[in-house]
Chain A
Amino acid sequence: MWKRAVICMLLAAFLGGCTKGQKEEQKTEIRMGISLYRGDDTFINNIRSVLETKAKDYEREHGIKVILDIQDAKGSQNTQNNQVERFISLGCDVLCINPVDRMDASVIIDKAMTAGVPVVFFNRQPVEEDMNRWDRLYYIGVDAKETAVLQGQMVVNLYRKEPLAVDLNGDGVVNYVLLEGETSHQDSLIRTEWSIQTLKDGGVPIEKITGGIANWERSQASALMEQWLSEYPDTIELVVSNNDDMALGAIDALEREGIREMNVIGIDGTTPGLEALESGKLLGTVSANKELYASVIVELAASCAMGEVLPKEYPLEDGTYYWAPQEILIHNAE
């Protein structure tokens, strides 16, 4: 008899403990903690702005209040880890993280797993090993190889159509310089490799003059380009840049030198990049559909927060990854 009593009491105690807080009412509010690797990155800033609009659209459409806590990690993984801790302590339902160091997402994942808060990573893909640790981790980004191939393809298409539009001096060789992003960013390596490979495969007779790492930054790219223009005067015909900001930096240097005849190509389709494209300073760029990109982040995060089935219109590869579609944007495209 006494054994039964003890078992019943223990069961009651454990059940009481386990069911604590499980009685969930229908949520009327979602709180998303968003941490950006650097708020002054033009592409990220564009995404942030669209994210805010999409969150408001979601709020209007579903009648569910969406609170966005947006923080800038300013390039520090330590700061980002602290931000994640604060998001969790503030009761965020879901985290949207643009990791500072894609190799070091494990701390964030640990904290999120302990708190049971799902994470939607974007723009910088954490390593596969980390992504496989939990089934409530997601990644939204663009396929870096596809981006690079599209960037190379835009020059190949132009060269096939009008060789002298690319080989500006008509000597049968296209001399190019290369502006690369951060060395630790996987997109930088892939963009460089596949963009150049596509040019070669497409039959463009390219020859590399020089290249350098400008860490995605306009000012650094501008300084490098200025140096190259003085070292290799009247030689460079094409500037291949891993992103629009660095392409704009190269254009700044060209403008200072009064050079108008040089092709510059970028990636991202940022707002200043598109302005330069419109004015013809930038030959072309590869742009992800930012509206869709941000929509997927908000919809996916909201579904996670509400405990709903993930939206079918955004199919996830392996139940984890979503690749945003991209397109080539070229000056005076017909």
Chain B
Amino acid sequence: MIGKRGKLLILVYIICLAVLFLMCSTDLIIGEPEKEIYQVAVIIEDVGDDNYSNFRKGMDQAAVEFNADVRFITLYDKQDNAQQMELISREQQDGADALIVAPVDEGQVVGALAEKKVSVPVILLDSGLTGEEVAGVVMADYKKMGQKLADEIADREGEGCRVLVLSDGKNKTAASRLFVEGAAGILERLGLPCHMVISGEGQVMKSLLEAFGDTGEGPAVILAESPELLAEAAAALAEGPSFLKQTEGLYGRGNTMQILNYLDRGLITGVCVTDGFSTGYFSVRMAIEAIEGLRGQAPMEMEVYYIEKEDLRDPAYEKILFPIE
């Protein structure tokens, strides 16, 4: 028989066990060290990530290194500014510690920051705007890119060549606007005739055929304003061999797989590219630094490279075009 004292001891023992169990289950005793995970949302201006595949690799790499939970968000409709502003607001409400935004309309984004509608740090991608409101900018110098391509066109195609600048006519993004400004400036200085050809999506072949017909001045060089227009122009050349005869060269920017395939097939003469992996990596790093209190960082400018078909297998460019995490 257990005595009264024994019973009391068992009771105390059981109570201790129960308390210990409760404390353990609520992390009071064996609490795991809290590792802060930063929430970062990347909101781009496009509906897909075709132009961001290398960026995403860099972004993922930085996410692991800096213990960040990075969400990559695309729009429902291409270049829809209202939607992008909604997403910025939604992500902020949902607890994002920082935002990385490739603005559809940079003025609107910066306006929202100035009006204090966004209270978390914002890193802008490919934006010409800086200021107190912006926590950081990671960009390629698109003006320099346009200038570089115009110089290459002049060197390769020689004096007197005609240049058709293929544009969607919207000039909404800073990248497109600066790119065309840069190219047009150099072409004008070199005295190369330059015509703007405005084309909607899926209308490139028709627009170019009209342009060739309207000007009636024989072959010309095509310079595409955006990666999408460049790929579409290359597809048009692939489809129409007669069209190919009228084209002395096709130039543009971007390094999607589609563009690189066309470059490899010789349909695109030359492209300007940037290091997407580094852009992704540094933008996340900049976001983390901004969360940790480092504000007013200087804009980070990514190098611009001009490549042709034979550069595709050059190890120096391979690292940029096909990065391995």
> Which A positions have Cβ atoms within 8 angstroms of B?
2, 5-6, 9-10, 13, 16-17, 20, 29, 49, 52, 56, 60, 65, 67, 69, 71, 86, 90
Contacts and interface: CB of A to CB of B under 8 A. Distances in A.
Contact of A13 (B21, B49, B64, B71): B21
Contact of B22 (A5, A17, A49): A17
B29 interface: no
A10 B76 contact: no
B69 interface: yes
A50 B56 CA distance: 18
B18 A52 contact: no
B60 interface: yes
A277 B201 CA distance: 23
Nearest to B74: A52
B60 A10 contact: no
A82 B60 CA distance: 14
Contacts of A49: 48
B7 A17 contact: no
Given A29-B94, A65-B94, A2 B11 contact: yes
Contacts of A65: 90, 94
A86 B60 CA distance: 12
B226 to A, nearest CB: 19
B90 A10 contact: no
Contacts of A6: 11, 14-15
Contacts of B49: 52
B15 A67 contact: no
A9 B18 contact: yes
Interface string B60-93: 1000100001010010100000000000001000
Given A2-B7, A65-B90, A71-B60, A13 B74 contact: no
B134 to A, nearest CB: 25
Nearest to B261: A272
Interface of B: 7, 11, 14-15, 18, 21-22, 25, 37, 48-49, 60, 64, 69, 71, 74, 76, 90, 94
Contact of B71 (A10, A60, A67): A67
A6 B71 CA distance: 49
A22 to B, nearest CB: 13
Contacts of B76: 56, 60
B1 to A, nearest CB: 15
Contacts of A20: 25
B36 to A, nearest CB: 13
B94 A9 contact: no
Contacts of B7: 2
11 contacts: A2-B11, A10-B14, A13-B18, A17-B21, A17-B22, A56-B74, A56-B76, A65-B90, A65-B94, A67-B71, A86-B64
A60 B47 CA distance: 14
A2 B21 CA distance: 20
Nearest to B70: A69
A270 B76 CA distance: 23
B70 to A, nearest CB: 9
A71 B74 CA distance: 16
A16 B37 CA distance: 28
A218 B11 CA distance: 73
A60 B90 CA distance: 14
B18 A10 contact: yes
A16 B48 contact: no
A269 to B, nearest CB: 18
Contact of A9 (B15, B48, B60, B69): B15
A71 B64 CA distance: 12
A59 to B, nearest CB: 8
Contacts of A13: 18, 21-22
A17 B48 contact: no
A17 B69 CA distance: 29
A90 B15 CA distance: 36
Contacts of B37: 90
A52 B71 CA distance: 13
Nearest to A12: B18
A213 B60 CA distance: 33
Contacts of A5: 11
A56 B76 CA distance: 7
In the A-B complex, the 5 residue pairs with the smallest Cβ-Cβ separation, listed nearest first, are: A13-B18, A17-B25, A67-B71, A6-B14, A90-B69
B65 to A, nearest CB: 13
A147 B144 CA distance: 51
A10 B18 CA distance: 7
Contacts of A10: 14, 18
A3 to B, nearest CB: 9
Contacts of A90: 37, 69
A302 to B, nearest CB: 17
Contacts of B18: 9-10, 13
A20 B24 CA distance: 13
A71 B56 CA distance: 10
A66 to B, nearest CB: 10
Nearest to B21: A13
